Amino acid sequence: MTAHAETIRSLRVEHITKRFPGVIACSDISLSVGQGEILALVGENGAGKTTLMNILMGLYTPDEGKIYLNDEPVSFRSPADALACGIGMVHQQYMLVPDLTVLENVALGMQNALSMEEGKGRGRNRMKTDVRAVRTKIEEISSLYGLKVDPDAYIWQISVGEQQRVELIKTLCMGARFLILDEPTSALTPQETDDLIQLLRRMSSKLSIIFISHKLSEVKALCDTMVILRGGQLVYSGKTADHSAADIAELMTGHTVNLSMNRPALNVGQDMLVVKDLCVRGDRGHLALDHLNLSIRAGEIVGLAGVSGNGQRELAEALTGLRGIVSGSMVLDGQELQGKSPLDIISCGMGYIPEERNIEGIVPSMSIRENLVLKDIGTPAFSRRGLLKNKTIDHNAKSLCETFDVRCPGTETAAGSLSGGNIQKVILAREIARSPKFLIAVYPIRGLDMGAAEFIHRQLLDLRDSGVGILLISEEMEEVMDLSDRIAVIFKGKIQKVLEKSEANQRKLGILMAGVEEFDEAV
Amino acid sequence: MKRFKLWYRCGVVLLSVLVALAIAAVILTVLGANVLDTFRVIFVYPFSSIKNISGVINIMIPLSLVGIGICIAYRSGIVNIGGEGQMIMGLTLALVVALNVGEMPRALAIPLVLLSGMIGGGVWGAIPGILKTRFQVSELLSTVMLNYIASQFYSYCLRVPMLDPSVAGGSGDPQTVRLSESLWLSRMNQLFPSLDKNMRFHSGILIAIVLALIVFLFMWKTPAGFKMRAAGASERAARYGGINVKNYVVLAILLSGACCGLAGTVEVLGVHHRGLGNVSGGYGFSGIVVALFGGLHPLGVLPAAFFFAVISYGCNSLQINKIPLPGNTIDVLMGLVILVIVSAQMIISNKYIMYRAERWVRAHLLRAGKERA
């Protein structure tokens, strides 16, 4: 066997600099990972994490600096080069084919890897993948690292957590002995996150890992050492244990961050939204909401906690008129919403921050200024006698971008080209500028860095204090517990229980989310 | 980076033209034609006289009208391959009206006939839109199928109810009687007597230019156009924004069909002055390529249509110029040119390929240059 099967004892990156027109994405960054080490790479969006990893994977070549593998200088020209040296990456978005089985997905990734190992020996048949060899390999890898999967399950059948294990196995089968994980927990439930952290810790006895994240609790739980990037520069490199979560947050953002922003609601009024016996069908025709009851008052935030897939999406879509309902009633400030079109519901004062901000919350190919008036384009505010008032639209965009700190080259920029945080700010700006009576916010900070998340949370709290009722749908228990005045737990399309903020804690919520109703007995 | 982009685009276009010419040269050589003479006829001859330019513009008119229509549909998220059928149904209805208006002032009769052409095409276009939004029937399927129905229906109309009595029973191609001269669209030199007498293209070009402007204003400066573009760019986001996507999709393909119907009508009133077989001349299909080549923008369609008209006119002039090629070679050459141009455009708009090319150029060419320096 050649050098590429050698264990990776150390990976060093020295003085890496990468410039793009107008920005220095990475400036003189050095880091090193030893055998069996888990290094956390922490930083806000745009801090240079992705650029650095793309350099490690051979997608970019650095302008300056060198990469050393086992103290020998290496240069990668493509991800295949990096993989040949044993460096593999699992991306934030899984690259799996839903209609193929686990085995087939792994085989798809392994075709290249196999050809490298066996090409010369047997005159490999290009037309045929050796499925049996792939199966053996999967079994070998999964028993070695304790990664349990069913090779014959289809991807669409398995949960997000299992899909991630498949990604890990795929990368390992392709010969990776050094893993880069890009925000691996962003789509996982709290339970799955715990499992992953356990798993990674076990795996670290056999390989090294770079763990990219901006969830500080995970970083502290999993990693001994960390590197913090800010604005393309390395601002901290050292032990995780030396710093508290608040310190790390401060290093990341460059200013003090209030990790907890919770303040009591002052301005709670009458019932704003009342949902009674709501039944809604999901995409597969089952009852996704089953006689759901919930009421939310003006000036309070009700957090809807639950493992995703328990009816959250259907509830949000039913309330906004995007999904028809089977039975029940939804009353917003005295107006029945059932049977109304999305446009009618919007004009009743319903605001909505959707789950998929990139494709539902904005029209990606249209400009920021157009997206900011998406819901109001036909109203007299932005059109007169059938023509758009372009000046008003421009003015509206400029002032909203300023108020909401949307960082963009200009308001003509396509909204889809912005970062997640800025897209969310555009959506939030539009929804708040319409002065809604009620706002549904679904995963409002998923995947955002701390600065953006803090900004969004502050806006939501301000909105609440101005007397708007807010339904906050989230899987992040910390977010729900921090922002909500009351917490409703949803399970299988029903509200398990509604807790006052004072009676809620992580353990109680976790048990309720798992579907156990009488938690006192269960503990 | 900016400078590279420009070089890159020019390079790709140049390369694709060379590729097209090279392939064409091989075909022409095999067929025994003189390669240079053939190219001269295709690309230079159309500009050689005002008469020829007029001929080019006459082809450009229906191409651009169809192209504009296709833009509306594409931008609104529905693919319209039914331009051909909508042209035919438009001109059929227009013929019905034109043959029955009797004595009516020209200023009233021509708009009436044009309008009926738009209604015919629009209704025919709305059918696949309704089928798509109500029953999830793919418009790719329904528009193509409706083309066949339209074409056979028109053929029937020509042969039975609208047949010119003077050719009845004869062996000639079926056609209608000639329309009364007051319905013909004026030629440009009639409209503006000061123009050269060889400026024989008809005033449909004015209709095309005005329509392009109107569609541009409609799509980009009105709320309805905004909603149609939003629906086309992201159906989910449009629905989320309170836009009734279904209605706007139907409206979009209705307007698209109306433009195609107008194209057919203008072709009849401007060129043939009667209904006869093959009026649509495949414009309904080449209009799709024109629309794509024009960047799916009504104002981009005009130059794109002109360009295609040049090639088409050039290819059709091969016989007159005594280039010994079988007639069908023209279609082969045109298809080839279109294929290469469209591929080049796809390569130009693909950022990844551009990125790879830039890397390659920097790694190989620039380094060599530096070393030499």
Q: What is the ipTM of this complex?
A: 0.81
What is the assigned CATH class of domain A7-86+177-255?
Answer: alpha beta
Residues of A in contact with B229 (CB under 8 A): 366
| Residue A57: pLDDT over 70 | yes
| Residue A215: pLDDT over 80 | no
pLDDT at A3: 42
Residues of B in contact with A386 (CB under 8 A): 222-224
C-alpha span between A179 and A168 (Å, rounded):
9
Residues of B in contact with A23 (CB under 8 A): none
List of chain B residues with pLDDT < 50: none
Amino acid in the structure at residue A261: M
Helix (H) or strand (E) holding A282: none
- Alpha carbon B197 to its chain centroid, in Å, reads 27
CB spacing of A359 vs B222 below 8 angstroms:
no
List residues of chain A with CB under 8 Å from any CB of chain B. 21, 320, 322, 341-343, 345-347, 352, 354, 356, 359-366, 370, 374-375, 377-378, 382-383, 386-388, 390
C-alpha span between A253 and A403 (Å, rounded):
20
C-alpha span between A523 and A341 (Å, rounded):
45
pLDDT tens profile A307-327 = 777 889 999 999 999 999 999
Q: Is B4 on the interface with A (CB under 8 A)?
A: no
Do A370 and A363 form a contact (C-beta atoms < 8 A)?
Answer: yes
Question: B297 CA to chain A: closest CA distance, Å?
Answer: 15
Residues of A in contact with B221 (CB under 8 A): 387-388, 390
Is there a shared CATH topology between the A7-86+177-255 domain and the A271-349+436-522 domain? Answer: yes
Tokens 């319903």 sit on residue: A350
If pLDDT is split at 50, 70 and 90, which confidence band does A127 have?
low
Amino acid in the structure at residue A395: H
C-alpha span between B106 and B181 (Å, rounded):
10
C-alpha span between A100 and A301 (Å, rounded):
42
C-alpha span between B37 and B319 (Å, rounded):
12
| Residue A98: pLDDT over 90 | no
C-beta pairs of B181-190 under 8 Å, 24+ apart in sequence: B182/B106, B182/B109, B183/B98, B183/B101, B183/B106, B183/B109, B183/B110, B183/B113, B183/B269, B183/B273, B184/B269, B184/B270, B184/B273, B185/B110, B185/B266, B185/B269, B185/B270, B188/B54
Residues of A in contact with B360 (CB under 8 A): none
Average pLDDT of span A77-101: 86
Residues of A in contact with B236 (CB under 8 A): 356, 359-360
Nearest alpha-carbon partner for A437 in A341, A361, A316, A351: A351
Which sequence spans correspond to the domains of chain A?
Answer: 7-86+177-255, 97-175, 271-349+436-522
If pLDDT is split at 50, 70 and 90, which confidence band does A523 have?
very low
CATH 3.50.50.60 fits A271-349+436-522, yes or no: no
Residue A417: count other Cβ atoms within 10 Å of its Cβ: 14
**Between residues A346 and A230, the one the model is more confident about:** A346
The terminus-to-terminus CA distance of chain A in angstroms comes to 54
The pTM of the full predicted model, rounded to 2 decimals, is 0.78
SS (H, E, C) A26-48: EEEEEEEEECCCEEEEEECCCCC
Question: A389 CA to chain B: closest CA distance, Å?
Answer: 8
Show Cβ contacts of residue B4 under 8 Å, excluding neighbours closer than 6 positions. B358, B361
Query: Packing angle between helix B2-31 and helix B351-360, nearest 10 degrees?
Result: 100
Instruction: Tell me which residue in A21, A362, A386 faces B222 most closely, judged by beta carbons.
Output: A386
C-alpha span between B196 and B211 (Å, rounded):
26
Helix (H) or strand (E) holding A259: none
DSSP state at residue B175: B
CB spacing of A388 vs B244 below 8 angstroms:
no
pLDDT at B372: 60
| Residue A192: pLDDT over 90 | no
**Between residues A305 and A261, the one the model is more confident about:** A305
Do A140 and A162 form a contact (C-beta atoms < 8 A)?
Answer: no
Mean pLDDT of the residues in chain A: 85
Do A34 and A20 form a contact (C-beta atoms < 8 A)?
Answer: no
Q: Is A302 helix (H, G, I), strand (E, B) or coil?
A: strand
CA dihedral (B60, B62, B65, B68) positive or negative: negative
| Residue A138: pLDDT over 80 | yes
Q: Is A290 helix (H, G, I), strand (E, B) or coil?
A: strand
Share of chain B above pLDDT 90, in %: 51
CB spacing of B240 vs A383 below 8 angstroms:
no
Q: Is B272 on the interface with A (CB under 8 A)?
A: no
| Residue A521: pLDDT over 50 | no
| Residue A512: pLDDT over 90 | no
